[in-house]
Amino acid sequence: MAAGGFCRLPNGSVVVALNLPSPAGPAGGCVRFLVLAPNRARALTRLRNLGLRAVYLRGNAAPPTPDEITAVLHHPDGLIWRTAPEAGVPGLAQELWHPARTLLRHPAPQP
């Protein structure tokens, strides 16, 4: 279920793209993460440091598109996400990218 891939940039860094189950639970669907890092291992470490422990990149089945590479290069954190488009549902692909910290934010406890 976790499709992903990477692309090496001319400056030597890599952009890793991963489709993962949503941290919101099974009803949340899938989320596509994009990570900019010096190498693949560091990109996966950045995701693991956010609490996504079982993250692995096997193969290069779903590398980042040129538009995705541009989006992550222009984001100050270099770590973004959006809902992964479902097969046959083109409207979801138009969602904007979000910083990773917004997805993993826990709601404040209610008094």
* Separation of alpha carbons 51 and 32, rounded Å: 16
DSSP secondary structure letter of residue 71: H
* Separation of alpha carbons 84 and 61, rounded Å: 15
Q: Is the dihedral of CA 30, 53, 104, 39 positive or negative?
A: negative
Reported pTM = 0.79
Residue 72 sits at φ, ψ, to 5 deg, of -75, -30
pLDDT (0 to 100) of residue 1: 46
Long-range contacts, 97-104 (Cβ 8 Å, 24+): 97/34, 97/71, 97/72, 99/75, 100/33, 100/50, 101/77, 103/22, 103/23, 103/31, 104/23, 104/50, 104/51
pLDDT (0 to 100) of residue 107: 53
pLDDT (0 to 100) of residue 19: 87
* Strand 98-99 versus strand 30-37 pairing type: unpaired
- Residue by residue, pLDDT tens for the chain (111 residues) are 467 899 999 999 999 999 887 766 656 678 889 999 999 999 999 988 888 777 888 888 889 999 999 999 999 888 998 887 765 455 545 688 888 877 665 555 555
pLDDT (0 to 100) of residue 106: 54
Q: Residue 21, SS3?
A: strand
